[in-house]
Amino acid sequence: MDGSDPRQCLSRRGVLWLASLAAGSAALSAACGSQASPGSRAAAGAAPAAAPTSGASSAGVSRVALIRSDDRVAGTRAAIDLLQPTGLKDRSVFLKPNYNTADPAPAATDTPLLEALVAELRNAGAGAITVGDRSGMADTRRAMEAKGVFALADRLGLQALVLDELDRDGWQRVAAEGTHWPKGFAFARPALEVGAVVNTCCLKTHRFGGDFTLSLKNSVGLVAKVVPGDPHNYMGDLHSSPHQRLMIAEINQAYSPALVLLDGVEAFVDGGPEAGRKVRPGVILAGSDRVAVDVVAVALLRSLGTTDAVARGPLWQLEQIRRAVELGLGAAGADQIEIVTADAAGRAMADDLRRRIAA
């Protein structure tokens, strides 16, 4: 790809336009489509855990729902009920899981959690749902097969998409301007051409230069390693760069998620992404602001005892977070994050995390 075809190359201005379009669509949906659908749990007679509201308040404060649970399915349902996300009704959804490998969670997305999340998206009135990923350490198709994704898709009427198998036209080139990517990067068009993107990630550290892999890092699976007809290796650029953590944040300019769901029932506090020292914090996080979710998740890693790279220095100065804030991708300070909980156990954890976020 030489970037000479304007349909194949997005400038930084184009990226920002895409982001603003996504944000505007979400805002319009919040204003016009936030009522419970007939099939939702609220409409069926079960009261939601909190008054309906979007992930971000009108005052610019991003809400992160925190549920204490060792049950991923129940925790997913409770977190989404508590958050009451908007921007999903009547919209097609691209669901981005974490299939870097097929290892058990927290290495990869738990399949019962994925099924519960699909059910919640449908309860929220979402339209057609596509589940897609590109693995980093494994063969993507084999990883998705091992996790039962294709069988789940057949049973639930989803589309399962192996991003490595997209043709040249399936990738949108984003120009290098304003980034640390030497030749820009190629982003999966299926995630750009839907009504909403949902990012479901795990709680873990990353020993290969990312330091931690949460929702911002999970977006790397939407970037091509190579594009058919173009020999350039974009992942080679990422993994060989001293600016890797900045580059992780920069790819997130290409889209804006309607929902982030983070599985923290188990976590890798050292090692990662596919194996490491495992602990069991028993928590599910949900939000529409990926920076806010990642900040809360980093605070959680710090509370559990983690690597020096994650634990050292002011949280907001960690390179993934600092660069995401510079790019305007989400909350810019502790006063812009509200952690909402459902019970006393959640409140105790949230109180500790708030102190860490504000430090």
Alpha-carbon distance 9 to 3, whole Å?
5
Separation CA 157–CA 24 (nearest Å): 29
CA–CA distance, 177 with 183 (Å, rounded to integer): 9
Amino acid at 229: G
33 falls in which pLDDT band (50, 70, 90)?
Answer: very low
Give the pLDDT confidence score for residue 51 in this predicted structure: 28
- pLDDT for res 36: 30
| β-bridge mates for residue 197, sequence order | 94
Per-residue pLDDT, 308: 98
Q: What is the pLDDT of residue 9?
A: 53
Q: Could you read off the pLDDT of 148-175 as tens digits, one per residue? A: 999 999 999 999 999 999 999 999 999 9
Does residue 304 have a pLDDT over 70?
yes
Poorest-confidence range of 40-49, 95-104, 116-125, 277-286?
40-49
pLDDT of residue 278: 98
CA distance 134 to 162: 6
- Reported as a pLDDT band with limits 50, 70 and 90, residue 59 is low
pLDDT in tens, 197-251: 999 999 999 999 999 999 999 999 999 999 999 999 999 999 999 999 999 999 9
If pLDDT is split at 50, 70 and 90, which confidence band does 35 have? very low
Q: Are strands 276-279 and 9-10 parallel, antiparallel or unpaired?
A: unpaired
Rounded mean pLDDT of 291-298?
98
- Beta strands 337-341; 9-10: pairing state: unpaired
Stretch 264-288: mean pLDDT: 97
5 pLDDT higher than 50: no
Mean pLDDT of the chain: 87
DSSP 239-298: HH-TTHHHHHHHHGGG---SEEEEEEEEEEEEE-SSSEEEE---EEEEES-HHHHHHHHH
In the structure encoding, which two tokens stand for residue 95, read together? Answer: 């669901």
Q: Is 94 helix (H, G, I), strand (E, B) or coil?
A: strand
Is the predicted pLDDT of residue 269 greater than 60, yes or no?
A: yes
Residue type, position 12, single letter: R
Average pLDDT rounded to a whole number, residues 238-265: 98
Quick one: average pLDDT of 264-275?
97
Q: Report the C-alpha gap between 282 and 91 in whole angstroms.
A: 31
- Across residues 102-131, what is the average pLDDT? 98
Helix (H) or strand (E) holding 186: strand 185-188
For residue 50, the model assigns a pLDDT of 27
Confidence at 41, pLDDT banded by 50, 70, 90: very low
Longest dimension (CA), the chain: 58
Contacts of range 351-354, beta carbons closer than 8 Å, 24 or more positions apart:
352/303, 353/66, 353/296, 353/299, 353/300, 353/303
- Quote the CA–CA distance of 173 and 58 in Å, as a whole number: 34
